Amino acid sequence: MSQSLALLEFGSVAVGMLAVDRMLKNSPVALLRCGTVHPGRYLALVGGSVASTEEAHTEGVFVGTEAGSLVAEVRLADPVSSLAEALVGGRNEPDGDTLGVLEVSTSPGLLGLMDRVLKAVPVGLVEVRLADDLGGRALAIIHGELTDVQEAAAMAPSCLGDDSELLNISVISRLDDTLRTVLGEGTHFASCRNWTPEGCETVED
């Protein structure tokens, strides 16, 4: 995984594509992911050395700001490895006693928040979702001991910049076993299979 990461969110797809083109021409970064997300925005995730990522990030911010279309941005010089892996599809099953669920108004805002939380508090990362199928908001799930998850939730509001808003936080203690198994497979409604634990009521066909 790259030494450094930058994530930029644009309010215009056209401006986002232009910015990515300029970023790649200006710096030898890897284009880790880019594309359209809800609601009609454009995300670009790049990575590389600290210097090259800073150059690309600066260029992307300039293009987005000049066009009045930069929604939010973040650059991480030394991201937590579990967070970097989650951004490209990695996930873990929740095995802690308690879950923390965080919703943020922008994807870069969530990324910056989670990097600070994971460096400060001994909690694990279950999943990160950026904008798609979430109406533009971003979602992260953490797990660990109750006191650690509570500490992470308490520090979260102070970890956001002016371009992002913390929408909701839930701390779920003594996680239900069925929900634990469900979350181990993901959080998308469309891909969730039917679960009928022993002793539960069922819906007859």
pLDDT tens digit sequence for 68-82: 999 999 999 999 999
Q: What is the mean pLDDT of residues 89-100?
A: 87
Residue 201 has pLDDT above 80, yes or no: no
Q: Judge if 67 and 132 occupy the same domain.
A: no
Q: What is the pLDDT of residues 4-17, one digit of tens each?
A: 999 999 999 999 99
| Domain coverage including residue 16 | 4-76
Q: What is the pLDDT of residue 120?
A: 96
Q: Judge if 12 and 55 occupy the same domain.
A: yes
Has residue 199 been placed in a domain? no
Residue 205 has pLDDT above 50, yes or no: no
1: confidence class by pLDDT, cuts 50, 70, 90: low
Q: What is the mean pLDDT of residues 182-188?
A: 85
Has residue 81 been placed in a domain? no
- Number of structural domains in the chain: 2
Q: Does residue 1 or residue 162 have the better pLDDT?
A: 162
Supply 170's token pair.
């839930």
Q: How many Cα atoms within 13 Å fall on the side-chain side of residue 200?
A: 9
Q: Residue 179 is part of a domain; what is its CATH number?
A: 3.30.70.1710
Residue 29 has pLDDT above 60, yes or no: yes
Mean pLDDT (the chain, rounded): 91
Has residue 193 been placed in a domain? no
3-state helix, strand, coil in the chain (%, to 5): 35, 30, 35
Q: What is the pLDDT of residue 203?
A: 61
Q: Judge if 66 and 110 occupy the same domain.
A: no
Q: What is the pLDDT of residue 92?
A: 83
Among residues 38, 44, 36, the alpha carbon closest in space to that of 131 is found at 38
Final residue of a domain: which of 19, 52, 76?
76
Has residue 201 been placed in a domain? no
89: confidence class by pLDDT, cuts 50, 70, 90: confident
pTM over 0.95: no
Q: What is the pLDDT of residue 140?
A: 95
Q: Judge if 63 and 128 occupy the same domain.
A: no
Q: In the chain, where do the E strands start and end?
A: 4-10, 30-37, 41-48, 70-76, 98-104, 124-130, 138-144, 166-173
